[in-house]
């Protein structure tokens, strides 16, 4: 491998999804993340000020020796400022986070970033789904995709995922109620094939699995796969954990392997899939660090703290290293029993929110 | 003009007796009124379990009988009171801030003493301290001494979106008192715009320290000022200006803070800590703040001291301090001369640990001894409230 290749998207996008060990990944991401840091410091004045704040004023700014050292941008900043490293006329797509309350993140993509993101997403998912498109059952409503007020993260997720299926069937109607006849005939038609089911965790649980349960409907799928994401906040409110979720799905649907995923609009394209052992895995283009909430010092494996996500992809906005408000534990690197290389971790909720702004909110 | 004060909307009245709506005489600074207000203080100080809420105890202490007697003597002697007594009571509508500060209740009770009938609007998102105070008022107003207070004080709880309620209360009152922030004031000022009004907009405060006295005591006093209301009150110090203080002394100060913190009550949590990190980044992005001491790429950008965070900065402007959202982050900077302190219309209190500094200060609306920053004064933000509430 040539050093230059590490910064050539045409080359690194071909890396095996979970195939580089710690040393190889370090060599790749150190080069790439340094390049991205310099790139954003040059093209995004807000990002340059963040580096200046911490004394990184010499050029090239903030050359790191280890990938754990990249200073992360707080995810909240994408809500408050239009951070981008491209000119206005180069904006190809504006992505917004799915948050229904409060301000949404705004992520600016140019054509190249959008293309790279979808390439990487395809590569990652093909690892789990294979290259053949499968009959696809979407646990959502067709109408969700047709919202004309800009693309929501949910719609973007559905659209991205629907690419991996064929003969799509939407399991819910515009009121998010089960379309029972359509689902029945879809499953009847394809029950011997490897069906791909996709939906957002809480919607799958409440609008699909619980609806089937209350109707007393069970199916006997063979080698189906369910991919779901979107977070556990509402599930925890109903005291449903990962294990219960999986058990109930198998009880209603039969042989389905269930995979949660974690990802965020701030790093679209980079997703963390859950393996058979319940661990979320970094693909080769990404790395994670867990930091102490007080000092932001890096924590050891097994310790819980704030999750930092580094990604080789973002070039149009300074999102290659982001400090999330999610709590996580890294369990190891390169040694998950599932055999995939890279760091693996689990999530443990979010830091409870307290965005109270002093006296300023009399009027609310 | 009469208003029935009946609303179709979802307005809750956590405190309002039937008698409140009847006409009442102006009893400005009369004995029975002073006793009714002082009785509330005595009532609070009797409840042992309230000792853990310094904000509530401070309020009760301010309205203690001896202090009110003293104010009463001054007012009665001033000749301002006599012409008011016996007239119909004035009507004042107070709009309290959500979540922080008990200061609105100081102003409401002071207005009671000045002879007015008062309605206080609280947000349905008000914090625990506010709810607790309203509950205490409710119980006290049922007691023999408290009954009179209930004729002069009512509390309404409703969403600010119900603008017609605000409009109706604004028509009811002779004076409207709005506690910040700037956006709320702007929005409320649009409603019944001809209402006579006083307002308390966003302010920030700073500490100017020389550490010439006992450092442990100074540290304790600083905590008294910085911890309540998650550092979000207008008088909470957002930054320390060190006036010719050697680095070792500053470190000694923080060491004392660290030792005192485990025994200092506060409501700062893990999420406030995360907010501190985010705030520093926002100040960098928006206002170009730069840290003074950075050790390469180390991540300890904010030094964490228990629930507080501190960092020394190269540049400190009033814009940064206006944007500072509290949450326990103390910015620091070294100065050689008080002239280096950025002045601003928004700078309220300068908290000092050296009495002699007060004279030289050309900045801020108020200078106050350390440990007293949150103490209420009848002159607030440059306004003599007793004068204002006399409704001449």
Model confidence at A356: pLDDT above 50: no
Task: Give the start-end residues of each E strand in A35-77.
Answer: 73-74
Task: Tell me what pLDDT residue A364 has.
Answer: 32
Residues within 8 A of A (CB atoms), B 112-131 only: 123, 125
Q: Do B98 and A296 touch (CB under 8 A)?
A: no
- Give the whole-angstrom CA distance, residue B156 versus residue B171: 15
Confidence of residue A61 (pLDDT cuts 50, 70, 90): confident
Residues of chain A with C-beta less than 8 angstroms from the C-beta of B288: 49, 52-53
Residues A144 and A213 in one domain: yes
Q: Do B277 and A50 touch (CB under 8 A)?
A: no
Domain total in chain A: 2
Task: Tell me what pLDDT residue B3 has.
Answer: 52
Task: Give the start-end residues of each E strand in chain A.
Answer: 73-74, 93-96, 106-109, 134-141, 165-172, 196-200, 221-229, 254-262, 272-274, 280-281, 286-291, 304-311, 321-333, 343-350
What is the pTM (predicted TM-score) of this model? 0.88
- Domain span at residue A326 reads 3-109+264-358
Report whether A203 contacts A176 (CB < 8 A).
yes
Residues A196 and A65 in one domain: no
**Residue written as token pair 């219960």:** A244
Whether A362 has its CB under 8 Å from any CB of chain B: the answer is: yes
Q: Which of A239, A364, A316 is nearest to A84 (CA)?
A: A316
Residues A127 and A77 in one domain: no
- Measured over the CA atoms of residue A332, residue A337, residue A338 and residue A339, the dihedral's sign is positive
Task: Tell me what pLDDT residue A362 has.
Answer: 38
Whether A56 has its CB under 8 Å from any CB of chain B: the answer is: yes
Does domain B204-369 fall under CATH 3.40.309.10? My reply is yes
Domain-embedded: residue A330: yes
- In a mutational test of the B interface, the residue from A37, A69, A103, A362 whose CB has the highest number of chain B CBs within 10 Å is A362
Provide the number of CB pairs (under 8 Å) joining chain A to chain B.
Answer: 143
Percent of chain A whose predicted confidence (pLDDT) is above 70: 93
**In chain B, which residue's Cα lies nearest the Cα of A362?**
B97
Report the first-to-last Cα separation within chain B, whole angstroms. Answer: 18
Residue B117 DSSP one-character state: E
Q: Do A358 and B184 touch (CB under 8 A)?
A: no
Q: Do A50 and B284 touch (CB under 8 A)?
A: yes
Residues A63 and A188 in one domain: no
Whether A338 has its CB under 8 Å from any CB of chain B: the answer is: no
Helix axes A22-43, A45-53, angle to 10 degrees: 110
CA–centroid distance for B9 within its chain: 30
* Cα maximum dimension of chain A: 67
Task: Tell me what pLDDT residue A361 has.
Answer: 37
Whether B10 has its CB under 8 Å from any CB of chain A: the answer is: no
Task: Tell me what pLDDT residue B300 has.
Answer: 56
Work out the mean pLDDT of chain B and round it to a whole number: 90
Whether B264 has its CB under 8 Å from any CB of chain A: the answer is: no
Report whether A251 contacts A218 (CB < 8 A).
yes
Domain-embedded: residue A363: no
- Measured over the CA atoms of residue B93, residue B202, residue B346 and residue B195, the dihedral's sign is negative
Residues of chain B with C-beta less than 8 angstroms from the C-beta of A44: none
3-state helix, strand, coil in chain A (%, to 5): 35, 25, 40
Residues A139 and A198 in one domain: yes
At A225, list the tokens. Answer: 């796969």
Whether A66 has its CB under 8 Å from any CB of chain B: the answer is: no
Residues of chain B with C-beta less than 8 angstroms from the C-beta of A355: 275
Task: Tell me what pLDDT residue B7 has.
Answer: 61
pLDDT per residue of chain B (392 residues) written in tens, 0 to 9: 345 566 656 788 989 888 898 888 899 999 999 999 999 999 999 999 998 888 899 999 999 999 999 999 999 888 777 777 878 899 999 998 876 668 789 999 999 999 999 999 998 877 788 889 999 999 999 999 999 999 999 999 998 888 999 999 999 999 999 987 788 899 999 999 999 999 999 899 999 999 999 999 999 999 999 998 899 988 999 999 999 999 999 999 999 999 999 998 888 999 999 999 999 999 999 999 999 976 655 555 899 999 999 999 999 999 999 999 999 999 999 999 999 998 999 999 999 999 888 777 888 988 899 999 988 889 888 889 999 998 86
Among partner residues B159, B180, B288, which is closest to A359 by beta-carbon distance?
A: B180
Residues of chain A with C-beta less than 8 angstroms from the C-beta of B101: 359
Work out the mean pLDDT of chain A and round it to a whole number: 90
Residue boundaries of the structural domains of chain B: 12-201, 204-369
Rounded to an integer, the average pLDDT of A244-253 is 95
Domain-embedded: residue A364: no
Task: Count Cβ neighbours within 10 Å for each residue of B143-171 and write b for 16 or more, e otherwise.
Answer: eebbebbbbbbbbbbbebeebebbebbbe
Task: Count Cβ neighbours within 10 Å for each residue of B333-366 and write b for 16 or more, e otherwise.
Answer: bbeeebeebeebebbbbbbbbbeebeeeeebbbb
- Give the whole-angstrom CA distance, residue A71 versus residue A38: 12
Q: Do A55 and B294 touch (CB under 8 A)?
A: yes
Domain-embedded: residue A60: yes
Whether B339 has its CB under 8 Å from any CB of chain A: the answer is: no
Domain-embedded: residue A86: yes
Q: How far off is chain B from A133, nearest CA to CA, in Å?
A: 43
**In chain A, which residue's Cα lies nearest the Cα of B182?**
A360
CA–centroid distance for A108 within its chain: 17
Half-sphere exposure of B11 (CA within 13 A, CB side): 23
Residues of chain A with C-beta less than 8 angstroms from the C-beta of B234: 358-359
Task: Tell me what pLDDT residue B86 has.
Answer: 79
**In chain B, which residue's Cα lies nearest the Cα of A83?**
B285
Task: Tell me what pLDDT residue A145 has.
Answer: 79
Residues A251 and A189 in one domain: yes
Give the H/E segment covering residue A86. Answer: none
CA–centroid distance for A97 within its chain: 12
Task: Tell me what pLDDT residue A144 has.
Answer: 84
Task: Tell me what pLDDT residue A352 has.
Answer: 79
Instruction: Give the lowest-confidence range in A137-141, A167-171, B156-160.
Output: B156-160
Residues A95 and A44 in one domain: yes
Residues A124 and A254 in one domain: yes
The domain boundary residue, chosen from A216, A231, A262? A262
Residues A75 and A187 in one domain: no
Rounded to an integer, the average pLDDT of A323-328 is 95
- CATH class given for the domain over B12-201: alpha beta
Q: Using one digit for the tens of pLDDT, what is the confidence trace for B79-129?
A: 777 777 878 899 999 998 876 668 789 999 999 999 999 999 998 877 788
CATH at A240: 3.40.50
Q: Using one digit for the tens of pLDDT, what is the confidence trace for A183-194?
A: 999 999 998 889
Integer-rounded Cα radius of gyration of chain B: 22
Residues of chain A with C-beta less than 8 angstroms from the C-beta of B183: 360, 363
Task: Tell me what pLDDT residue A99 has.
Answer: 57
The domain boundary residue, chosen from A241, A262, A283? A262
Report whether A211 contacts A178 (CB < 8 A).
yes
Residues A213 and A314 in one domain: no
Domain-embedded: residue A17: yes
Confidence of residue A234 (pLDDT cuts 50, 70, 90): confident
Cβ atoms within 10 Å, residue B246: 11
Residues within 8 A of B (CB atoms), A 269-308 only: 291, 293-298, 306
**In chain B, which residue's Cα lies nearest the Cα of A324?**
B274
Residues A287 and A192 in one domain: no
Among partner residues B181, B289, B291, which is closest to A360 by beta-carbon distance?
A: B181
Q: How far lies A156's CA from each of A24, A95, A145, A163, B2, in Å? A: 32, 8, 8, 11, 58
DSSP assignment of B290-354: -BS---TT-S--SEEETTEEEEEBS---HHHHHH---TTEEEEEEESSGGGSPP-TTEEEEEES-
Cβ atoms within 10 Å, residue A248: 17
A132's CB contacts (< 8 A; 6+ apart) are none
Confidence of residue A235 (pLDDT cuts 50, 70, 90): confident
Residues within 8 A of A (CB atoms), B 46-85 only: none
At A57, list the tokens. Answer: 């004023």
ipTM: 0.89
Residues A282 and A221 in one domain: no
The domain boundary residue, chosen from A262, A292, A312? A262
Whether A216 has its CB under 8 Å from any CB of chain B: the answer is: no
Task: Tell me what pLDDT residue A345 has.
Answer: 98
Among partner residues A64, A359, A363, which is closest to B297 by beta-carbon distance?
A: A64
Task: Tell me what pLDDT residue B77 has.
Answer: 85
Model confidence at A56: pLDDT above 70: yes
- Give the whole-angstrom CA distance, residue B338 versus residue B332: 14
Rounded to an integer, the average pLDDT of A112-134 is 93
Residues of chain A with C-beta less than 8 angstroms from the C-beta of B275: 354-355
Whether A107 has its CB under 8 Å from any CB of chain B: the answer is: no
Residues of chain B with C-beta less than 8 angstroms from the C-beta of A52: 284, 288, 290
Task: Tell me what pLDDT residue A2 has.
Answer: 60
Integer-rounded Cα radius of gyration of chain A: 21
Q: Do B123 and A62 touch (CB under 8 A)?
A: no
Domain-embedded: residue A114: no
Cβ atoms within 10 Å, residue B124: 12
Domain-embedded: residue A168: yes
Whether A101 has its CB under 8 Å from any CB of chain B: the answer is: no
């Amino acid at each position: 491998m040539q050093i230059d290749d590490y910064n050539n998207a045409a080359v690194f996008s071909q890396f095996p999804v979970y195939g580089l060990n710690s040393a190889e990944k370090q060599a790749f991401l150190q080069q790439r993340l340094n390049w991205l840091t310099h790139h954003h410091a040059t093209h995004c004045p807000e990002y340059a000020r963040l580096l200046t704040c911490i004394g990184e004023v010499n050029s090239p700014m903030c050359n790191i020796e280890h990938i754990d050292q990249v200073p992360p941008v707080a995810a909240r900043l994408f809500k408050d400022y239009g951070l981008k490293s491209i000119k206005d006329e180069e904006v190809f797509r504006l992505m917004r986070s799915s948050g229904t309350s409060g301000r949404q993140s705004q992520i600016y993509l140019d054509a190249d970033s959008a293309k790279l993101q979808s390439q990487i997403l395809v590569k990652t998912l093909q690892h789990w789904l294979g290259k053949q498109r499968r009959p696809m059952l979407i646990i959502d409503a067709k109408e969700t995709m047709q919202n004309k007020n800009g693309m929501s993260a949910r719609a973007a997720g559905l659209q991205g995922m629907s690419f991996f299926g064929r003969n799509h069937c939407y399991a819910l109607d515009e009121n998010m109620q089960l379309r029972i006849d359509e689902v029945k005939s879809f499953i009847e038609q394809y029950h011997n094939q490897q069906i791909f089911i996709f939906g957002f965790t809480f919607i799958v649980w409440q609008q699909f699995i619980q609806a089937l349960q209350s109707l007393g409907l069970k199916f006997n799928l063979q080698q189906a796969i369910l991919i779901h994401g979107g977070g556990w906040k509402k599930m925890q409110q109903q005291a449903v954990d990962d294990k219960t979720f999986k058990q109930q799905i198998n009880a209603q649907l039969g042989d389905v392997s269930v995979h949660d995923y974690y990802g965020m609009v701030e790093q679209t394209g980079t997703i963390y899939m859950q393996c058979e052992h319940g661990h979320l895995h970094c693909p080769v283009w990404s790395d994670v660090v867990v930091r102490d909430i007080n000092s932001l010092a890096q924590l050891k494996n097994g310790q819980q703290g704030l999750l930092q996500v580094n990604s080789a992809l973002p070039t149009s906005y300074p999102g290659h290293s982001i400090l999330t408000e999610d709590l996580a534990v890294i369990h190891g690197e390169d040694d998950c029993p599932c055999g995939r290389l890279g760091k693996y971790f689990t999530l443990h909720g979010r830091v409870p929110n307290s965005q109270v702004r002093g006296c300023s909110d009399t009027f609310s | 003009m009469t208003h029935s004060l009946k609303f179709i909307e979802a307005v809750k009245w956590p405190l309002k007796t039937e008698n409140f709506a009847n006409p009442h005489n102006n009893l400005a600074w009369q004995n029975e009124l002073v006793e009714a207000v002082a009785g509330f203080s005595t009532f609070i100080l009797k409840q042992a379990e309230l000792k853990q809420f310094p904000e509530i105890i401070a309020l009760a202490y301010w309205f203690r009988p001896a202090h009110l007697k003293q104010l009463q003597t001054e007012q009665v002697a001033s000749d301002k009171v006599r012409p008011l007594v016996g007239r119909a009571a004035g009507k004042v509508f107070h709009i309290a801030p959500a979540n922080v500060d008990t200061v609105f209740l100081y102003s409401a009770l002071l207005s009671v003493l000045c002879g007015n009938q008062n309605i206080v609007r609280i947000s349905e998102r008000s914090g625990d301290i506010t709810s607790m105070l309203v509950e205490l008022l409710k119980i006290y107003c049922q007691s023999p001494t408290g009954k009179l207070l209930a004729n002069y004080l009512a509390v309404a709880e409703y969403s600010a979106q119900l603008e017609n309620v605000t409009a109706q209360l604004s028509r009811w009152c002779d004076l409207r008192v709005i506690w910040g922030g700037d956006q709320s004031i702007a929005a409320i000022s649009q409603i019944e715009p001809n209402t006579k009004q006083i307002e308390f907009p966003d302010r920030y405060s700073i500490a100017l320290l020389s550490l010439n006295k006992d450092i442990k005591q100074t540290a304790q006093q600083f905590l008294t000022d910085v911890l309540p209301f998650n550092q979000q009150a207008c008088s909470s110090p957002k930054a320390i200006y060190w006036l010719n203080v050697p680095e070792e002394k500053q470190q000694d100060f923080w060491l004392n803070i660290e030792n005192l913190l485990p025994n200092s009550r506060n409501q700062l949590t893990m999420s406030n800590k995360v907010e501190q990190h985010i705030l520093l980044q926002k100040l960098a992005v928006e206002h170009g703040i730069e840290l003074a001491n950075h050790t390469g790429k180390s991540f300890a950008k904010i030094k964490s001291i228990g629930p507080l965070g501190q960092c020394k900065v190269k540049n400190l402007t009033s814009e940064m301090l206006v944007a500072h959202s509290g949450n326990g982050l103390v910015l620091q900077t070294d100065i050689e001369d008080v002239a280096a302190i950025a002045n601003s219309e928004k700078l309220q209190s300068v908290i000092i640990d050296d009495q002699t500094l007060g004279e030289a200060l050309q900045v801020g609306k108020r200078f106050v001894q350390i440990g007293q920053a949150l103490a209420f004064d009848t002159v607030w933000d440059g306004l003599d409230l007793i004068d204002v509430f006399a409704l001449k």
